[in-house]
Amino acid sequence: MSQNPYSLLFGKEPQQTISRAAQMNEIIDSFQADIPSQQIYMITGVRGCGKTVFMTEIAKTLSQDDKWIIVELNSSQDLLSDLAAALASENHLAQLFQKSSINLSFFGIGLEVKGSVPITNIQVAITKMLESIKKNGKRVLICIDEVTSTDAMRAFASAYQIFVRQDLPLFLIMTGLFENINNLQNEKNLTFLYRAPKVELKPLNITTISNNYKKTFSLDAAAGLEMAKMTKGYSFAFQVLGYFTWKENGDYKAALPDYQQYLEDYVYEKIWSELSSGDRKLAYGIAKSETGKASEIKAELSIENNEYTPYRDRLIKRGIIDGSEHGHLKFILPLFEQYVLNNYY
Ligand SMILES: Nc1ncnc2c1ncn2[C@@H]1O[C@H](COP(=O)(O)OP(=O)(O)O)[C@@H](O)[C@H]1O
Ligand SMILES: [Mg+2]
């Protein structure tokens, strides 16, 4: 049997991808514009919806253009030092900095620069580097995956704010779970983050998923669509269902028990453990209700609006339920309803 084309790995670009062209182009176009309309985007969405893959694809697309220098940073490290080191370690940039007499020897990075005083402040050093990058018509994109509100991250964000105010060509994409992004945005000194656009990743296109399965497993249109609908467009589910169906030689019905268990063990358990008891109670009410109607859910749980509304909003923001149809709630994740019914007590 040949290699399984579907992947169970998180954070790694899969072989089978369903395009998110529309959401991706919005970011790429605004970064590429002569006068960029945005320099920062925050990508949120539930675990497994495809944030890391999405950010990686944008970075990959931009990196094909010589103008862009891509730097990946980690929010639990010293991001300013790491940024300076990453920039200085690119060969052509190191030469550029040397020509502009930027002496980084104090930080133990970069090339020797004779006759200019070493810079001792990291923020000043980065400003000089970015000025010289700007003069050469280049731009820097920083990618931070799974951001958390650490001291290092807050320090970096406040410096970033100043770089952008100085009109330096520094761009930023961050991914994170809703609550982590939210914590960072609510920092007093980081009001600029409050205005920064948040991109919530939408489910993958069901027609495209269905075409993918049809082709891989030689299914007819009805079967391909039925299989696609089982994933609800959830990225991780698309891979998991494809993976186990491949193992069952194209029999997706035989793959269902493994599909369900894998989703539960690798994602739902974790999501569930992060919910408060109020969140769980509302999730249970939704799972129990036949119609998903707000009135039915409230009656089922014997709760009033003041208990219903805040938990509803939290579950929507975390990307667990969809409230786009007025007065109705439904789960976004496939088979999550069964998980809730089996695990609520
Ligand atoms: N556009 C896509 N098309 C198909 N599969 C995807 C896509 N984006 C992500 N995936 C798959 O979904 C899973 C989760 O992706 P990942 O980017 O790690 O999610 P997150 O960072 O949101 O937790 C991985 O198995 C990945 O292969
Ligand atoms: Mg990720």
When the candidates are 3.40.50.300, 3.90.1310.10, 1.10.3720.10, 3.30.1460.30, the CATH number that belongs to 21-200 is 3.40.50.300
- Which pLDDT belongs to residue 279? 96
- Which pLDDT belongs to residue 24? 96
Question: What are the pLDDT digits (tens) for 105-128?
Answer: 888 887 777 778 888 899 999 999
Ligand 1 in reach of 18 Cβ (< 6 A)? yes
Ligand 2 centroid, distance to 72 Cα (angstroms): 13
Question: What are the pLDDT digits (tens) for 61-88?
Answer: 999 999 999 999 999 999 999 999 999 9
User: What is the pLDDT of the chain when averaged over all its residues?
Assistant: 94
- Which pLDDT belongs to residue 105? 85
Ligand 1 in reach of 107 Cβ (< 6 A)? no
Ligand 2 centroid, distance to 215 Cα (angstroms): 28
Is the pLDDT assigned to residue 1 strictly greater than 70?
A: no
**First-to-final CA distance of the chain:** 44
Report, as an integer, the average pLDDT of 157-181. Answer: 95
- Which pLDDT belongs to residue 287? 97
Is the pLDDT assigned to residue 230 strictly greater than 90?
A: yes
Distance of CA 217 to the CA centre of its chain: 30
- Which pLDDT belongs to residue 118? 85
| Residue minimizing CA distance to atom 27 of ligand 1 | 14
Ligand 1 centroid, distance to 279 Cα (angstroms): 25
Question: What are the pLDDT digits (tens) for 251-298?
Answer: 999 999 999 999 999 999 999 999 999 999 999 999 999 999 999 999
Ligand 2 centroid, distance to 271 Cα (angstroms): 14
Ligand 1 in reach of 49 Cβ (< 6 A)? yes
Ligand 2 centroid, distance to 183 Cα (angstroms): 18
| Candidate of 4, 6, 8, 10 to mutate for ligand 1, largest count of ligand atoms within 8 Å of Cβ | 10
Atom of ligand 1 nearest to the CA of 18: 3
Ligand 1 in reach of 235 Cβ (< 6 A)? yes
Report, as an integer, the average pLDDT of 91-116. Answer: 84
Ligand 1 in reach of 44 Cβ (< 6 A)? no
Ligand 1 in reach of 338 Cβ (< 6 A)? no
Report, as an integer, the average pLDDT of 307-335. Answer: 95
- Which pLDDT belongs to residue 107? 83
Token pair 């495809």 is found at 50
- Which pLDDT belongs to residue 188? 83
CB atoms closer than 10 angstroms to residue 98: 19
Ligand 1 centroid, distance to 10 Cα (angstroms): 6
Ligand 1 centroid, distance to 47 Cα (angstroms): 9
Ligand 2 centroid, distance to 59 Cα (angstroms): 15
Question: What are the pLDDT digits (tens) for 175-188?
Answer: 999 999 999 998 88
Bridging pattern class, strands 40-44 and 68-73: unpaired
Ligand 1 in reach of 20 Cβ (< 6 A)? yes
* pTM (2 d.p.): 0.94
Please give the Cα distance from 338 to 343 (Å, whole number). Answer: 9
Report percent pLDDT > 70 for the chain.
100
Neighbours of ion ligand 2 (CB under 5 A): 11, 52
Q: Is residue 219 very low, low, confident or very high in pLDDT (cuts 50, 70, 90)?
A: very high
Q: Is residue 194 very low, low, confident or very high in pLDDT (cuts 50, 70, 90)?
A: confident
Q: Is residue 189 very low, low, confident or very high in pLDDT (cuts 50, 70, 90)?
A: confident
| Residue ranges of domains in the chain | 21-200, 206-272, 275-343
Ligand 1 in reach of 48 Cβ (< 6 A)? yes
| Residue minimizing CA distance to atom 13 of ligand 1 | 236
When the candidates are 1.10.10.10, 3.30.360.10, 3.90.1170.50, 1.10.3720.10, the CATH number that belongs to 275-343 is 1.10.10.10
- Which pLDDT belongs to residue 190? 87
Atom of ligand 1 nearest to the CA of 14: 27
**Are 28 and 62 contacting, i.e. CB atoms less than 8 angstroms apart?**
yes
- Which pLDDT belongs to residue 42? 96
**Are 141 and 59 contacting, i.e. CB atoms less than 8 angstroms apart?**
yes
